Structures are given as structure tokens and as C-alpha cells.
Amino acid sequence: MKEPWSGPIQKVNDYCYEIPQSYKSGMRVPGRIYANEILLKDIFRDYAPEQVANAAFLPGIVKHSLAMPDIHWGYGFCIGGVAATDPEDGGVITPGGVGFDINCGVRLIRTNLKQGEIRDKIEGLINTLAQEVPAGLGSKSEMKISHEELRKVIVEGSGWAVRRGYGVERDLEFTEERGAIRGANPDKISQRAYERGRAQVGTLGSGNHFCEVQVIDEVYEPKIAEVFNLFKGQITVMIHTGSRGFGYQVCDDYLKMMLPYFDKEKLPDRQLVCAPLNSKEGKNYFAAMCCAANYAWANRQSLMHLVRKGFEKFFGKKWQDLGMDLIYDVAHNIAKFEKHIVDGEEKTLCVHRKGATRAFPPGHPDVPLRYKRVGQPVIIPGDMGRCSFLLVGTEKAAETFYSTCHGAGRVMSRTAAIKSINAKALSQELRSKGIIVRTAGRETLAEEAPQAYKDVADVVDVVAGAGISKKVCRMKPLGVVKG
């Protein structure tokens, strides 16, 4: 076990700290970590700050290597890592800056239901959702998708699901990239990835993925909440999952393809293996990553359809009559070409966000028209025992390439959690708080225990304090389906 990280850190302000460029020969830019003094103690427990410094070696990196307050150790980049590279300046793309679960992300659904209406029904509702939503390691969908059909899925994304009747056109309006990023090329996907992906569209998966029924218990910005048609005491649903085995295989395939090009003299970590954005290898990975991102959006759209079906079955009403509209869907693990101002000049950059959320401000062209005056919704899930948040992007987030945190961030490995946490006692504790949990795996409850995570409220306070996001409302869990 490594000792706690003890490299140099300089305070920029109460919510931002900097690893100087002089820390390691070869760093092209400084590293910046958004945190406060309390969170820094957790952050220094592992070597995630070293990964922030290592990412600063990437060719073409612009301004800073960044980390959000939910930072923890990951593959290549830390979880919570953000880096933008300039294709005009030899900029690269790295699978380690996107992650294995490509476009792991989250969507938030409103309802017309109030807490009092379901207070005594939550266990039955969660049991119904557990029956409707395939969850767990290796979980398979009832959808029968051929190889040719899967090629359509990975190009069309959420639109594929909507055209099959798994949602409505409005859902696409409130999904990042309308649920399909351009540039996907099915020919850049391996046969193994196709095999793994065929049976998993419309499945939740395992680990920290979940479907959660929540209640809004605090509203910080009533006028913004009104734009989203949200109010205190309202029932919401959050879905968190990604591209499943398909995305994992894409990442694994391209890490192996790029490895022969690894230059240990330029990069300190093999996990940062990369390729120039303008190279054949870089373009091929981006095209494959887009396929996996679109797979993830089709997956979350299909899961929302199953959740709506579960609500219809339980309440005996159509989902439209229950007011189950999508608020928004955002990606957490992705690399995207975006326009940003650098030293007064507009540039097209490749922004890697790994365990980080896009946070565009009011008026940004990529914010849906209905939300244009308030900014892009930013959905931040917490652990199953505390709370989650809805925020919006801000203009100040330009300093992070319009990025913010994506969740609570682990402080305990899954192995350590399983060893130290009694799942049965935890289940009883959650039930005593009125939280019903259904898990497909025996060890999932311990792995995902609240004490294995930072308090998401502390994480959100940092991004709000730094001004890179604004708090709109807080949701508390009532019931959770986990893999």
C-alpha cells in the first residue's frame, strides 16, 4: 500500500489548489484540484493527485490538468479528471482520460407524485421496478438485437430506442447531444465488443449503477426549479449506468492498439497511452468511443422506458398521466470536441471528462431552448444513504472547460468495503431511515455502502463555492434498485 500523497500543493483560493508545473520535469501545465481543506485530507489518502500531475504531460494539453472534488484513483486519469487538448498543437486523445465505462452517465426524471402519495407504497414500487429493470453483473435484456441492429444502435443512440417505441421525441431534446454524438463508425468496433453488447441494451449492470426513487427535500433556487417543473416534496427518479460490456471492450481494444506507440520518455504512465487527434489511431478510437457513447444513451433511454412501464404497472396509470418527463441526461465519461476561449481566442479543443459532468452556462448554444436562460442541468448522484443534487452550469465554469463534479467519489475500495461492512446490518440501517434497497448481487450492498463514499453534500459545496455550478435542489433516496 502506498503512503499518502505528499507532493507540493499551493492554495489558489478556498476551493482550488494547484500542483505547480515545476513538480515534475515534463509537466506542460500545472495541475489544479477543486477542493477545500477538509476534502484534501481524503484526496491525499491515495495517489490520485499524482495522476493529475501525470495528465499534465499530455501533448497539446491546454491551461491546466484538472480534478474535481470527487477525485479518487482511476485508470490513467483520476476519477474526476478533466483535460483539454488542442488538435492544432499536437493534441492527443487517450482512452485513460475517458475510462472503461464510456458514457457512464445519469438521467433525472420528474413525476407528478408527491411524497405523501407514495409514503406507504415505496416498498411495493421498488419491488416492481426490481422486476422490470434487469440488474446485476452480466445481466441480460429481453430485447433481441441482431448484429445489424446493434450497428444501428451505436450510430443512432437514444433515437434508436425512441423509434422503437421506448420513449418520445421530447426525450431526445433533453439528452446531451440529443442522445447521439456524431462521428460513430461501426466498422471500428471489434467482434468481441459486438458479442458483449448484443444482450445488454436495457440493462442496469452492477457496481455503482442504480435506479433510485427520490423525493426533493430542499429547493435552493425556486425560480430555476420552476423552469424544470420541480418542487419540494416531489417524487423523482434517477438512472445511473453506462455502456456496459460494450464500452469496456472498446476501451480495452484501443488501449492494446495504442500501446505500441507509448513513449515512456514523454509520458510517465503507460495507462496514459494516447494518439494524436489527427492521426489514424486517434481518429479510429474517437469513432469507436462515439459508438460506445451512443450505446450508453440507447441503454439509458431503454431503461427509462422500463422504469415508466414499472410505474404504469404499479399505479395503474399511463406514464404521461404520472408526469414522468425527462429533465436531462448527461455523460460522465467521454471526450468531445468543443469550442472554448483560450487566451482570448476561440479554439476547438478535445475535452476529456472522466468522472466529470459538462456544465454549460445560460445562453450556451448546446443548452436546450427551454433551459437557455438558466443553464444546463447538472445531475450529481450521491450514495444510497444520503442525497443527490441537481445543479446548473455557470459562466465561471469556463475556467474548467465548463466541467464540474459527477458524484460523491469513493474513499474506500470495493474490496475494503466488503471486508469491513456488514451488509445485513447496513440493510437494516437503511430501512430504519425509510430507504428500501434491492440488489442483484450479494456483495453490492457492502461495496456501495454510504461510508465507502465522501459525503456528496461536501463535494457539491465545493463546486458551488468555486462558482462552477449552482445548486438548484436536493433529492433524498426513498428506494434503490442496484446491481
- Mean pLDDT of the 32-37 span: 97
With 50 as the cut, is the pLDDT of residue 151 above it? yes
Strands (E) in 245-318, as ranges, are 275-276
Instruction: Indicate which residue of 64, 240, 305, 406 is catalytic.
Output: 406
Q: Is the dihedral of CA 414, 418, 422, 427 positive or negative?
A: positive
Q: Is 406 a catalytic residue?
A: yes
Q: Which residues contact 149 (CB under 8 A, 6 or more apart)?
A: none
Which of 142-151, 209-218, 419-428, 458-467 shows the lowest mean pLDDT across its residues?
419-428
- Mean pLDDT of the 314-325 span: 98
- Mean pLDDT of the 94-116 span: 97
- 435 or 340, greater pLDDT: 340
- Mean pLDDT of the 172-184 span: 98
Model pLDDT, residue 330: 98
- Mean pLDDT of the 233-251 span: 97
Model pLDDT, residue 350: 98
Phi, psi of 209 (to 5 degrees): -75, 145
- Mean pLDDT of the 90-95 span: 97
Q: How far apart are CA 264 and CA 433, in angstroms?
A: 51
The structural domains of the chain, ordered by start, are 10-482 (3.90.1860.10)
- Mean pLDDT of the 281-296 span: 98
Q: What angle do CA 61, 67, 68 make, to 5 degrees?
A: 140
Model pLDDT, residue 208: 86
379 strand-pairing partners: 390
Model pLDDT, residue 2: 62
Query: What's the pLDDT band for 1 if we cut at 50, 70, 90?
Result: very low
Task: Judge contact between 436 and 122, C-beta under 8 A.
Answer: yes
Model pLDDT, residue 446: 83
With 70 as the cut, is the pLDDT of residue 442 above it? no
Rounded percentage of the chain residues whose pLDDT exceeds 90: 83
**pTM across the whole model:** 0.96
Cα torsion through 349, 355, 361, 362, rounded to 10: 130
Q: Is the dihedral of CA 185, 186, 190, 196 positive or negative?
A: positive
Rg, Å, the chain Cα set: 21
- Mean pLDDT of the 375-394 span: 96
Model pLDDT, residue 147: 94
Tens of pLDDT, residues 132-145: 998 866 666 777 79
Rounded percentage of the chain residues whose pLDDT exceeds 70: 98
Q: What is the DSSP string of 422-482?
A: -HHHHHHHHHHTT-EEEESSTTHHHHT-GGGB--HHHHHHHHHHHTSEEEEEEEEEEEEEE
Task: Judge contact between 90 and 276, C-beta under 8 A.
Answer: yes
Q: How far apart are CA 188 and CA 287, in angstroms?
A: 7
Task: Judge contact between 378 and 228, C-beta under 8 A.
Answer: no
State the DSSP code for 241: E
Give the mean pLDDT of the chain.
Answer: 94
Nearest to 157 by CA among 246, 273, 219: 246
**CA dist list (Å): 101 to 72, 114, 127, 331:** 16, 34, 27, 11
Task: Return the C-alpha cell found at 303.
Answer: 431503461
Model pLDDT, residue 261: 82
- Mean pLDDT of the 54-72 span: 97
